[in-house]
Amino acid sequence: MLGARTSRLPSTARAQHLWFELYWLFALSADEPSALPEKQNSKLIIMPERAIEEYRIADEPYYLPVDHEVDLFAAAHAAHLPVILKGPTGCGKTRFVEHMAWRLERPLITVACHEDLSATDLVGRFLIEGEETVWHDGPLTLAVRHGAICYLDEIVEARKDTVVIIHPLTDHRRRLPIEKRGTILDAPADFMLVVSYNPGYQSILKDLKQSTRQRFVAIDFDYPPPDTEAVIVAREGGIDEGTARDLVLIGQKVRNLRGHGLEEGVSTRLLIYAAQLIALGIPPTRAAEVAMCSPITDDRDLQRSIREIVTTVI
């Protein structure tokens, strides 16, 4: 029996890292001059380093290990190997990277990849500011310069020519060519490149090329096992474990509909959303419907099937 709890939500372990906001990309590209090698411009100024400290994660992000992923990631960092995290959306990849950045005491710079993301957006650009030409590091350069962890979320969304930029960083060279400045930046030992990839909904046009994927060690992610997922949902959603177990059971049954018209199962993130609504007094069936039914499909028949699952469990 699901029991609603109206206690306030616990403050979840929030990531302290900053995302490079998209407006940065657009605002800065407006008055970008073409490539200006350093030596040709007497007034070249390198932007003072942005406070890398802003990207440090002060408080431990809550992460419940599922397998040996913590040890694997730490070993990859020690061996200077880049890592690819494979798994469906909302199953804990980002939270894991945040947790590992905190554990390894490295700043974390996250970039949400999209089809307009250019190599310049990642590496950096010259901007004319008054009389001066100022170089601005992009997120990847900033991470390399400071030995941070750079997390490229959903790498396949980036343009092919953008993905190529990471190649020299992901083999024994571990270096970033900064073409526009005619320089090369060697990555310090602590620098680590991490990318995420959801193999579930890739088309042939948007698959990761072998020449790219064979540069990474891969850690496979999936929805946590039921007992673990219930603990996570209870904690993150602010509900009791019995209620969380019911939500997880619904989640499992909905995930079984994959292959029957459902592209991807309901994520741990959505189970937590349902839990958060329940914690705020929304009736459990309603919460489950709005968080676990409508968001994942527009197909009326599938929605009906999911609603039946919800009412059977609750």
Residues near ligand ADP, by CB under 6 A: 62-64, 66, 87, 89-95, 224, 232, 236, 268-269, 272
Residue of minimal Cβ distance to ligand ADP: 92
Q: Give the phi and the psi of residue 16 in degrees, each rounded to 5.
A: -95, -10
13 or 176: CB nearest ligand ADP: 13
Ramachandran region, residue 92 (left: φ > 0; alpha: ψ -120 to 50; beta: rest):
left
- From residue 100, alpha-carbon distances to 55, 57, 62, 310 in Å are 13, 10, 11, 35
Q: Give φ, ψ of 223 to 5 degrees.
A: -60, 140
Contact at 8 Å (CB) between 189 and 196? no
Q: Would you say 187 or 274 has its CB closer to ligand ADP?
A: 274
Q: Where are the beta strands (DSSP E) in 171-261?
A: 175-178, 183-186, 192-197, 217-220
Closer Cβ to ligand ADP, 191 or 197, answer by number = 197
Q: Give min distance, CB of 32 to ligand ADP, in A.
A: 31
Q: Decide whether 69 or 137 has the Cβ nearer to ligand ADP.
A: 69
Closer residue to ligand ADP in complex, CB, 98/137: 98
Start-to-end C-alpha separation, the chain: 6
Residue at 98: amino acid letter:
E
CB of 20 to ligand ADP, least distance (A): 17
| Least distance in angstroms from the C-beta of 89 to ligand ADP | 5
Which value, to the nearest 10 degrees, does the dihedral of the CA atoms of residues 263, 268, 273, 277 take? 110
**Closer by beta carbon to ligand ADP, 54 or else 227:** 227
CB of 93 to ligand ADP, least distance (A): 3
- 223 neighbors 88 (Cβ within 8 angstroms): yes
Toward ligand ADP, which CB reaches closer, 14 or 167?
14
For the bound state, the minimum distance from the C-beta of residue 13 to ligand ADP, rounded and expressed in Å, comes to: 8
Q: Are the CB atoms for 82 and 191 separated by under 8 Å?
A: no
Minimum gap (Å) between residue 119 Cβ and ligand ADP: 24
Total residues found in the chain within this entry: 314
Q: State in angstroms the smallest separation of the CB of 240 from ligand ADP.
A: 17
Give the tokens for residue 14. Answer: 């929030």
